[in-house]
Structure formats: C-alpha cells, structure tokens
Amino acid sequence: MKSKKVPSGEEVRQKKTVGFLSQVCVLLFFFGGEVYCQYETDQWAEDYVQEPDDAYQPEFQFHQNVDYRIPFHQNTLVCANECFCPPNFLSSMYCDNRKLKIIPSIPMHIQQLYLQFNEIEAVTESSFINATHLKEINLSHNKIKSQKIDYGVFTKFSNLLQLHLEHNNLEEFPFPLPKSLERLLLGHNEIFRLQTNAMDGLINLTMLDLCYNHLHDSMFKENILCKMEKLMQLNLCSNRLESMPSSLPSSLMYLSLENNSISSIPENYFKELPELRAVRMSHNKLQDIPYNIFNISNLRELNVGHNELKQLFYIPRNLEHLYIENNEIENINATVICPTVDPLQYYHLTYIRVDQNRLKEPINSYILFCFPHMHSIYYGEQRNTNGQTIHLKTQVFRRYQEDDSDEHDDQQNNFESQEQEGTEENFDLHYYEIQEWQENI
C-alpha cells in the first residue's frame, strides 16, 4: 500500500498564489463589465444631438462661457418626464420640439433650460417653483403672449444670464427682468410698447436683439438705452424707425438698423461711440449724410447699401469691408474717400461692393495706392439714367499678392460665393472678436 505524498512547503505556497490570482481575475472581470456598460451609456448620451435652431440667428454672435457645475448640495438628480437630461450635462434639460403646450415642472438643479419649438402659450410661476439656479432659458419659437407671462416670473432667477423669447407673439417688452441678465433676444415678435423704466435695471446687458418688431421712434426718446453701460450689441433691424435712436451707450460695438425708414444721420451722432466695430444701415432712405460721419477709429464693417446716396464720404483707416450697392452714385472720387496717402498709416480697406449704382467707369487706379490691402471691388451691373442695366469693362476687380498663391483659391471661392448670393451675410463679424481676443493673449 502506497503512502500518501505530503506536499512540500513550496507547493503549498504556489497553490495559495494561484487561488488568490483566480479571485482577483473574477473581480476584474465584473469590474470591467461595469466600466464597459458605463462607457456605452456615456457614448449613447454623447450621440444625442439637439435639433438645429438655424431658422433665425441674430446678426452678430457672442459665445458665453457656460458653467455646467451642479450645486454641491444636490443629492438626487431628476428630470421632467417630457424632457431629456443628458448624463454628461446634468445641469441641462432639453424639452425642445416636443409639442408641449405648458412648461413642465423644472427641477432645482437645472441651469440650462431648452423649450424652443413648442406650442407654449403662457409662462407661469408654478412651473418654476423649485428652479433657483437657472442661467439660461430658451423659450423661442412658441406662442407666448405678453399678458400670459406672470408678473415678475423671471426676476426670481438671480443668476439668469440668457433669455430667449424670439419668434413668439409678444406685444410688450417683458418687464421686470433680473439685473444679472446679459443676453436678451426678442426678435420676431409684435412688440410696439416699451415702458419708460423697462430697461432701467438691465445694467449687465451686453446684447439686445429687437429685430422684426413694430418699434417707433417715440420709444427711444427717453434715453432708455444709455443706462445699459455694458451694452455691446444692439439689433433694431426691420422695425418702423424713421430716425436714429438717441443716447446709445458708449460701450456699443455692433449696431444693426437695416430695413427701417431712416433718412438722415445727425452730424456728430457717432462721436460718443468710439468702440463701434460694425454699422449696418442697408435698406433705409439715406440720401445726403455728413462727410465725416463714419470717421470712427475702430470701425471694421460699414453697410449702407440699398439707400439713396448720391456721393461717398470719408473712409476711416481701419475700415475693411464697405457695402454701398444699390444707391444713386454716379462717380467715386478716390481722393474724396482718401484725401491723403501716408506710407506710415495705411488704410485697411480690402473689399468694396458698388454694384447697382450709376457708375460709368471703374474707380481711378489711385485707390490702390491709398488702400494697399485692397483685393476685391465688385462692380457687377450698373444702371443708366433710364434705369437700364449696363456692364462696365471691369465687372470684378481682384488683386492678389504673388506670395499668396496658396490662399488665392480660397479667397476666389469666397468672393464668387458673395457675388452669387448677392448679399453681405457671408462676412463674419465674429472674426474681429476672435482676432482681437487672440491679440490680447
């Protein structure tokens, strides 16, 4: 009878090691499965894409830094049944394009609320009882009327930075609003009443969009805009203005007044607006304007197309894009728009659009000495005294530096697209904001 072999101390240690490693492998297997599932969940959340809202965009864009942090005291995170709260953006709630007729109850931790493209008619306090941390509310593209907004419903949001109410049925400027507000969009409504003190508390407002409403001159005679000392962008396009709005804040950088009935500009109107980067006044009734009216040191874009101008004016040195199409100009005297040539202080004009005027010949070549950065002049079609269309010998002038051959194709494609579209909208004003920001860092 064979004796049972007693395992040595080394064999015992090896068996214990194998057993321990087996247990570790099992734990790693379950842990890896949990991580993989969480990864799949996050991937699904990242694949969620909100439906684009590009039907209406204000003329000039500002990009705000959004703080997505959740209040530290939050214990459980919930979401309205009608909406979607992405796991990787826990402070945002998406309720857009869901045919909602009322605003759902907003949880306490929500900071960004998106309710655009619904059928909401009223804004009541009951929906916002628990909401105390809101920083952005988007109620655009709904059916909201002024009388259906509970008085003071927005003032409880002391951290509110952005409020979107464009594309609704508002008849009055919403009042009151929180002092924290920075961006207010009210375009495409029916606003025709503006209370005298409606804007008094908006001391932090940087962007105000009131395009496509029914505003008259009388609404801006009480100097209601000058109290907004941080305002940088003012959009008043497509209203019923017949004169320039008075007492604009000196901080203003972008002014949009297209599609009104403005016939003149006061002599020193822009003297108190040294920060202006862009002025858009196309589709008005401008005829004779002061020679030095646009002598603004920081001006980059000027659009006075589709007016009744018969002669040009002084071009400021920093201006880059000039739109004067569809006017009554018969001659462009280069020495008038550029009276002196200083090799140490070049003019920066790069593009002029002069089509649909009454020019009989191209601009004198002197313009190239005065504007050494000029690369494009679009003459297009001109009109004679009988209103018939004529073509100049040079319909499009282009000039490129020899060492810019790599950029030539891109510039040509961009310019041709502008000619085909027949509009200035291809020019991105935000370029200046980005460029200046890069220069300052």
Residue 41, C-beta contacts closer than 8 angstroms, at least 6 positions apart: 87
Q: Is the alpha carbon torsion for 210, 211, 214, 218 positive or negative?
A: positive
Residue 80, C-beta contacts closer than 8 angstroms, at least 6 positions apart: 93, 95, 104, 105, 106, 107
Residue 247, C-beta contacts closer than 8 angstroms, at least 6 positions apart: 223, 225, 226
Provide the phi-psi class of 394: left if phi over 0, else alpha when psi is between -120 and 50, else beta: beta
Torsion of CA 277, 233, 60, 213, to 10 degrees: -130
Say if 400 falls within a structural domain: no
Instruction: List, in sequence order, the alpha helices (H) in 273-320.
Output: none
Say if 99 falls within a structural domain: yes
* Alpha-carbon distances of 271 from 206, 299, 311, 383, rounded to whole Å: 20, 12, 22, 35
Write out the two tokens for 119. 């059928």
Say if 106 falls within a structural domain: yes
pLDDT, one tens digit per residue, over 235-259 is 999 999 999 999 999 999 999 999 9
* Alpha-carbon distances of 241 from 59, 74, 169, 184, 293, rounded to whole Å: 18, 49, 20, 20, 19
Please tell me the distance from the alpha carbon of residue 372 to that of residue 357, in angstroms, as a whole number: 24
DSSP-based helix, strand, coil % in the chain, nearest 5: 20, 10, 65
> Is pLDDT of 174 > 70?
yes
What pLDDT score was predicted for residue 20?
56
Per the DSSP assignment, residues forming a β-bridge with 209 are 185, 235
Instruction: State the pTM of this model.
Output: 0.76
Residue indicated by tokens 């002092």: 179
Main-chain dihedrals φ then ψ at residue 301, nearest 5 degrees: -130, 135
Helix or strand (DSSP H, E) at 220: none
Please tell me the distance from the alpha carbon of residue 171 to that of residue 129, in angstroms, as a whole number: 26
Q: Average pLDDT, whole number, for the chain?
A: 81
Measured in residues, the chain has a length of: 441
Whether the ω angle into residue 176 lies within 30 degrees of 0, i.e. cis, is: yes
Say if 202 falls within a structural domain: no
Please tell me the distance from the alpha carbon of residue 367 to that of residue 370, in angstroms, as a whole number: 5
Say if 146 falls within a structural domain: yes
Please tell me the distance from the alpha carbon of residue 252 to that of residue 229, in angstroms, as a whole number: 9
Overall average pLDDT of the 63-78 stretch: 46
- With beta carbons less than 8 A apart as the criterion, state whether 83 and 102 touch: no
The domain tally of the chain equals 1
> Is pLDDT of 400 > 90?
no
Please tell me the distance from the alpha carbon of residue 291 to that of residue 312, in angstroms, as a whole number: 8
Say if 195 falls within a structural domain: no
Please tell me the distance from the alpha carbon of residue 103 to that of residue 117, in angstroms, as a whole number: 12
Please tell me the distance from the alpha carbon of residue 303 to that of residue 280, in angstroms, as a whole number: 5
For 150, the domain range is: 73-168
What pLDDT score was predicted for residue 77?
74
The CATH number covering residue 104 comes to 3.80.10.10
What pLDDT score was predicted for residue 200?
86
Residue 432 pLDDT level (bands cut at 50, 70, 90): very low
Please tell me the distance from the alpha carbon of residue 336 to that of residue 342, in angstroms, as a whole number: 15
Say if 40 falls within a structural domain: no
Say if 160 falls within a structural domain: yes
- SS3 sequence, 323-344? ECCCCCCCCCCHHHHCCCCCCC
> Is pLDDT of 196 > 80?
no
What pLDDT score was predicted for residue 383?
94
pLDDT, one tens digit per residue, over 91-131 is 999 999 999 999 999 999 999 999 999 999 999 999 999 99
